[in-house]
């Protein structure tokens, strides 16, 4: 069961990232129909144009055609589209298709190459929570905080994780750190409300076991 609290908290920072389905990386263009779009006609002229494949992937994704979006994105990747542009799109399509294990694998591979990729780190943590692997999510968020100690959202996400794990003291510590770094942040009012009772553990999901 997905823990909506933390997943929503993390995903709101990374809405640009979702992933797709396992398809061919062939560089051949699809057959051209009579009502082909200008982009499809461009692709027919040059199937190896990675920018056109990327744009067609975005168009297919916007229309909910995740299979075709993935085909175009993977073709663009095979043609050398920079990882920082194409990997988030592939991850985004995979998540939209509910293929969380594959999305997690893609996140892991990306972070092996670029450990300081903030957005991918958040998404990986959310996926780990969704797959009921909170200890690994905690590890990810600690890695984020260590690499970017001035990032308030990392503390907020870790606080939400502790909150879901009913570790109220640790959650409060992270929430206070968030407020220290972002006193006027988007979530500051809600965090202050939750901390208002201070001694009332129920506000933060209960006491630590």
Q: 136 Cβ partners below 8 Å, 6+ apart?
A: 128
Average pLDDT rounded to a whole number, residues 32-49: 76
Tokens of 189: 């009012």
pLDDT at 199: 53
Q: What is the distance between the alpha carbons of residues 82 and 143, in angstroms, rounded to a whole number? A: 24
Q: What is the distance between the alpha carbons of residues 23 and 70, in angstroms, rounded to a whole number? A: 7
Q: What angle do CA 153, 158, 160 make, to 5 degrees?
A: 95
Torsion of Cα atoms, 70 then 73 then 74 then 77, to 10°: -160
pLDDT at 42: 83
Q: Are 47 and 27 in contact (CB under 8 A)?
A: yes
Structure confidence at residue 3 as a pLDDT band (50, 70, 90): low
**For residue 189, pLDDT beyond 50:** yes
Assign domain 1-24+36-132 to a CATH class: mainly alpha
Dmax over CA atoms of the chain, in Å, equals 69
Nearest to 173 by CA among 182, 183, 163, 164: 163
Structure confidence at residue 7 as a pLDDT band (50, 70, 90): low
Mean pLDDT over each residue of the chain, to the nearest integer: 82
Q: Give the predicted TM-score (pTM) of the model.
A: 0.73
Average pLDDT rounded to a whole number, residues 124-131: 93
Q: What is the distance between the alpha carbons of residues 206 and 56, in angstroms, rounded to a whole number? A: 49
**For residue 20, pLDDT beyond 60:** no
Average pLDDT rounded to a whole number, residues 86-115: 94
Structure confidence at residue 39 as a pLDDT band (50, 70, 90): confident
**For residue 115, pLDDT beyond 80:** yes
pLDDT at 151: 93
Region class of 198: left (phi > 0), else alpha (psi between -120 and 50), else beta: left
What residue spans define the domains of the chain?
Answer: 1-24+36-132, 149-209
pLDDT at 198: 55
Going by the DSSP 8-state scheme, the letter that residue 198 receives in this structure is: S
pLDDT at 35: 65
pLDDT at 15: 41
């Amino acid at each position: 069961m997905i823990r909506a609290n933390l997943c929503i908290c993390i995903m709101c920072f990374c809405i640009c990232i979702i992933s797709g389905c396992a398809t061919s990386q062939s560089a051949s263009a699809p057959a051209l129909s009579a009502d082909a779009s200008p982009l499809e006609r461009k692709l027919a002229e040059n199937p190896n144009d990675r920018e056109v494949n990327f744009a067609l992937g975005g168009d297919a994704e916007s229309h909910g055609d995740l299979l075709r979006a993935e085909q175009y994105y993977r073709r663009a990747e095979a043609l050398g589209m920079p990882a920082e542009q194409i990997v988030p799109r592939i991850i985004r399509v995979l998540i939209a298709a509910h293929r969380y294990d594959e999305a997690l694998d893609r996140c892991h591979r990306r972070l092996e190459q670029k450990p300081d990729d903030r957005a991918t780190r958040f998404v990986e943590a959310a996926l780990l929570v969704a797959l009921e692997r909170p200890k690994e999510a905690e590890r990810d968020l600690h890695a984020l905080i260590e690499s970017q100690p001035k990032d308030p959202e990392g503390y907020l996400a870790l606080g939400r994780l502790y909150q879901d794990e009913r570790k109220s003291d640790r959650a409060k510590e992270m929430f206070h750190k968030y407020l220290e770094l972002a006193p006027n942040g988007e979530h500051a009012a809600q965090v202050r409300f939750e901390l208002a009772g201070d001694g009332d553990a129920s506000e933060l999901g209960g006491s630590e076991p």
